[in-house]
């Protein structure tokens, strides 16, 4: 069976993405996660380029890895320097990794225009740097920077750089599509030309500027490349690098290459999402294999098909990659979505098929009014609970009023403006009317406090519920301040999180609807509702 090495560069190339800044502890955690999913080589960074990477390699020496080898990355000696006096090479050796990857110029115009060196001098830099590191007991990989562009411009010279590196003793030559613009048909032809003169194992390092990084990586493997570079979630400069979370499942499931074990593959979704948390970036829902939408189904025809045959509208079993199937309910849904979603959520089905159709029509009507249940599943659950025979809501609204006041007060600095919000609520619980009021930092905060104040008298455990996120989206921008708005609230009791939705041309009313659903959902789930 074809063997492929997985080389991850999230900690170096991936960290070059705008908005990412891993701490040393973050990097150590990521190494452990990458090791757990079967990565063969983990590029830890560029020692000496910054204090953080230097500290990382010092601390990484104590890591006990099961699968991976840590790699230090750097460049060939600087133009005009000797290898003995070059800081770049000294820092690479001080990292004390078994494997070192050095990058060298393979595009003639990069050599003359960027490096400002002669073509002969560049060859000497490659040869001497590789030999220097090899003589000191290191395994050396060579990143052939801009190779595909270089080959297109001057094939003879670009091939000469590879031969120079191999002659000096590199173990792997990695062909880099650094600008990320190579098309698959051009990539295959270039790899074939390299293979005619080079028998050493090749690697592929693809960037995603043309949206082809994963495709080019897989095609390169098909063409005989043995080592594949990538980053978790495709992180990287500009448009990113080849996404390792797509590469690994495609290699194993689609191409039959046993690059990781089945158990390691099942952790890839978890690792993808964990690393996005460390990167402090939202996890993109549309990521293949690992995104929350990767196996989400919204159209009624799709769900109806999957109820008959689960593979009818998904290309692999989501459990293979540690993900799960998800069915959304929307204006595109059919009755099958309602049934599937109810079973998935553990919510009682509507008592009759007729009521299922009525709920579906009701959902379509509400979504036309701005509600959206695909991202507010707690509100969807309540729609089903409310049609159950004998359902009695935990509370009912009598009325509410919110006042926002702008007033001036005096301070030692002079006159200052101050805004105040106060909410007054009347609700009915088990026939008893409760009237409460509360102030807040804003109208929604005041509503939250007033409603909580009223309900806790009857449901003390509700004190554990907090509002953790609040989002407002304007649905009809052309209508100006009269626009329909959608409010999405996320709540938590410290153990689980749930989302509820409200919509109205009145932002306070939309917020109230989402807020009421949040409390009612928790009360229903904890079986405090009288039926």
Encode pLDDT of 110-132 as tens digits.
Answer: 999 999 999 999 999 999 999 99
Q: What is the pLDDT of residue 336?
A: 60
Q: What is the pLDDT of residue 526?
A: 85
Domains of the chain: 5-278 (3.20.20.70), 296-368 (no CATH), 396-525 (3.30.160.270)
Asked if residue 409 has pLDDT above 60, the reply is no
- Tens digit of each residue's pLDDT (9 = 90 or more) over 133-188: 999 999 999 999 999 999 999 999 999 999 999 999 999 999 999 999 999 999 99
Q: What is the pLDDT of residue 374?
A: 64
Between 58 and 374, where is the model more confident? 58
Q: Give the chain's length.
A: 531
Average pLDDT over residues 280-293: 89
Asked if residue 272 has pLDDT above 70, the reply is yes
Q: What is the mean pLDDT of the chain?
A: 88
Q: What is the pLDDT of residue 364?
A: 67
Least confident of 85-94, 239-248, 373-382: 373-382
Q: How is residue 111 written in tokens? A: 């050599």
Please answer whether residues 104 and 157 qualify as being in contact, where contact means their C-beta atoms are separated by less than 8 angstroms: no
Q: What is the pLDDT of residue 342?
A: 63
Average pLDDT over residues 199-212: 97
- Tens digit of each residue's pLDDT (9 = 90 or more) over 23-55: 999 999 999 999 999 999 999 999 988 899 999
Q: What is the pLDDT of residue 471?
A: 85
Distance between CA 173 and CA 184 in Å, rounded?
19
Average pLDDT over residues 47-72: 95
- Tens digit of each residue's pLDDT (9 = 90 or more) over 4-29: 999 999 999 999 999 999 999 999 99
Least confident of 261-270, 309-318, 387-396, 463-472: 309-318
Average pLDDT over residues 284-292: 92
Least confident of 73-87, 137-151, 291-305, 330-344: 330-344
Distance between CA 173 and CA 104 in Å, rounded?
11
Please answer whether residues 338 and 466 qualify as being in contact, where contact means their C-beta atoms are separated by less than 8 angstroms: no
Q: What is the pLDDT of residue 327?
A: 59
What secondary structure, in 3-state letters, does 392-445 show? CCCCEEEEEEEEEEEEEEEECCEEEEEEEEEEEEEEEECCEEEEEEEEECCHHH
Between 295 and 330, where is the model more confident? 295
Asked if residue 347 has pLDDT above 80, the reply is no
Q: What is the pLDDT of residue 332?
A: 45
Distance between CA 428 and CA 52 in Å, rounded?
59
Distance between CA 234 and CA 244 in Å, rounded?
7
Please answer whether residues 348 and 342 qualify as being in contact, where contact means their C-beta atoms are separated by less than 8 angstroms: yes
Q: What is the pLDDT of residue 196?
A: 97
Distance between CA 192 and CA 221 in Å, rounded?
12
Percent of the chain exceeding pLDDT 70 equals: 85
Between 428 and 529, where is the model more confident? 428
At 334, the pLDDT band (50, 70, 90 cuts) reads: low
Please answer whether residues 127 and 133 qualify as being in contact, where contact means their C-beta atoms are separated by less than 8 angstroms: no
Distance between CA 429 and CA 375 in Å, rounded?
29
- Tens digit of each residue's pLDDT (9 = 90 or more) over 230-263: 999 999 999 999 999 999 999 999 999 999 999 9
Please answer whether residues 416 and 483 qualify as being in contact, where contact means their C-beta atoms are separated by less than 8 angstroms: no
Query: How many C-beta atoms surround the C-beta of residue 477 within 10 A?
Result: 7
- Tens digit of each residue's pLDDT (9 = 90 or more) over 207-225: 999 999 999 999 999 999 9
Q: What is the pLDDT of residue 414?
A: 52
Asked if residue 339 has pLDDT above 80, the reply is no
Asked if residue 368 has pLDDT above 80, the reply is no
């Amino acid at each position: 069976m074809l063997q492929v090495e997985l080389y991850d560069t999230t900690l170096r190339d991936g960290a070059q993405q705008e908005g990412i800044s891993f701490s040393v502890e973050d990097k150590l955690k990521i190494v452990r996660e990458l090791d757990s999913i079967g990565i063969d080589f983990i590029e830890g960074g560029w020692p000496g380029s910054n204090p953080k990477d230097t500290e990382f390699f010092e601390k990484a020496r104590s890591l006990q890895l099961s699968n991976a080898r840590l790699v230090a990355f750097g460049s060939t000696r600087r133009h005009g320097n000797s290898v003995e006096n070059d800081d770049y090479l000294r820092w690479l050796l001080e990292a004390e990794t078994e494997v070192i990857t050095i990058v060298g110029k393979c595009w003639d115009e990069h050599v003359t225009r960027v490096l400002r060196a002669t073509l002969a001098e560049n060859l000497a830099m490659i040869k001497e740097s590789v030999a220097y590191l090899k003589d000191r007991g290191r395994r050396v990989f060579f990143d052939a920077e801009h190779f595909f562009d270089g080959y297109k411009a001057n094939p003879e010279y670009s091939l000469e750089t590879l031969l120079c590196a191999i002659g000096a003793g590199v173990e792997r030559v990695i062909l880099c599509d650094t600008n990320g613009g190579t098309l698959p048909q051009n990539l295959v032809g270039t790899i074939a030309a390299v293979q005619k003169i080079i028998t050493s194992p090749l690697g592929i390092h693809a960037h995603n500027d043309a949206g082809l990084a994963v495709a080019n990586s897989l095609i390169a493997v098909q063409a005989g490349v043995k080592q594949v570079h990538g980053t978790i979630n495709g992180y990287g400069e500009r448009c990113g690098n080849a996404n390792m979370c797509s590469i690994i499942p495609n290699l194993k499931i689609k191409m039959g290459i046993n690059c990781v074990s089945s158990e390691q593959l099942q952790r890839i979704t978890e690792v993808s999402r964990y690393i996005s948390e460390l990167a402090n970036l939202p996890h993109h829902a549309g990521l293949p294999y690992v995104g929350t939408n990767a196996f989400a189904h919204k159209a009624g025809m799709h769900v109806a098909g999957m109820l008959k045959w689960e593979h009818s509208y998904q290309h692999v079993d989501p459990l293979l990659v540690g993900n799960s199937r998800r069915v959304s309910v929307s204006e595109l849904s059919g009755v099958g979505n309602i049934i599937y979603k109810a079973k998935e959520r553990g919510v009682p089905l509507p008592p009759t098929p007729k009521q299922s159709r009525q709920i579906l029509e009701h959902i379509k009507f509400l979504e036309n009014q701005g509600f959206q249940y695909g991202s507010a599943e707690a509100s969807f659950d309540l729609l089903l609970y409310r049609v159950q025979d004998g359902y009695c809501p935990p509370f009912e609204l009598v009325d509410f009023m919110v006042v926002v006041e702008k007033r001036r007060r005096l301070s030692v600095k002079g006159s200052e403006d101050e805004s105040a919000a106060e909410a007054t609520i009347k609700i009915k619980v088990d026939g008893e009317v409760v009237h409460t009021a509360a102030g807040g930092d804003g109208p929604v905060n005041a509503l939250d406090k007033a409603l909580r104040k009223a309900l806790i008298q009857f449901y003390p455990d509700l004190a554990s519920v907090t509002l953790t996120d609040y989002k407002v989206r304007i649905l009809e921008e052309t209508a100006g301040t009269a626009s329909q708005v959608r409010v999405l609230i996320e709540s938590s009791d410290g153990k689980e999180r749930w989302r509820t939705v409200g919509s109205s041309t009145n932002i306070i009313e939309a917020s109230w609807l989402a807020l009421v659903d949040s409390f009612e959902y928790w009360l229903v789930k904890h079986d405090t509702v009288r039926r």
